[in-house]
Amino acid sequence: MAVNEVWNTVPGAFCMFGICCNSFTRMPLGLLLSLSLCNIMHAIDMQKNIWYAPTKIRSSHTSGRDVLNDYLGNDGYEFVRIGNLLASRLILLLILCSCRGCRWLVEQPEGSSLPNTPRFQQFLSMTKVSWNYFIFVCVCL
């Protein structure tokens, strides 16, 4: 549905993405924002009373995202797998938006580890970035 919406936009259109941040943020219980495209569809389907329910809020320490596992986290949990899946789909949508000539905007709470995920880093490596994180890891054996 999101690909269809992006594909039907005209060049120069604006697409806003805010994927679920419950597994990316460092808040103890993780704030959550629904997928903005779903929210737009919710705004459209308000008359039908369709509600896109958010997923369950979990602890960020439970997700286990850190530099040692490339911020992929403990994928034994479903909400971590969903976060990784949404991150990958987000990157595909961003590439699609860029190819369609659309403007896009990705929103995350401050401190989110989404830009550290491998797919996001891969996307940033494909583009010219004005600012980026640099993480140096020193492993003492």
Partner 1 sequence: MLHFAIVPSVFIKVFTTSFWMGAFNGKTPKRHRLWSNDWGLLQEIHEIGGHMSRAAMQSLPGQSLVKKYHDKNGKLRRVGIPARLKESQCLSCKIIQHAVSCENCECFFPICTLVQGVYSILCGLDCSHHPSTSKGDCDSWRLNICNIFPTYG
Question: How many residues would you count in the chain?
Answer: 141
11/76 with CB nearer partner 1: 11
Number of alpha carbons in the 13 Å side-chain half-sphere of residue 74: 9
67/126 with CB nearer partner 1: 126
- Min dist. Cβ of residue 69 to partner 1 (A): 22
- Min dist. Cβ of residue 141 to partner 1 (A): 29
> Which tokens sit at 138?
């020193």
- In angstroms, how far is CA 7 from the centroid of its own chain? 19
Judged by the rule CB under 8 A, the positions of this chain that interact with partner 1 are: 5, 8-10, 12-16, 18, 27-34, 36, 39-40, 42-44, 46-47, 54, 57, 95, 98-99, 103-112, 115, 124-131
- Min dist. Cβ of residue 8 to partner 1 (A): 6
Task: Report how far apart, in Å, the C-alpha atoms of 22 and of each of 4, 32, 61, 125, 136 are.
Answer: 26, 5, 11, 25, 25
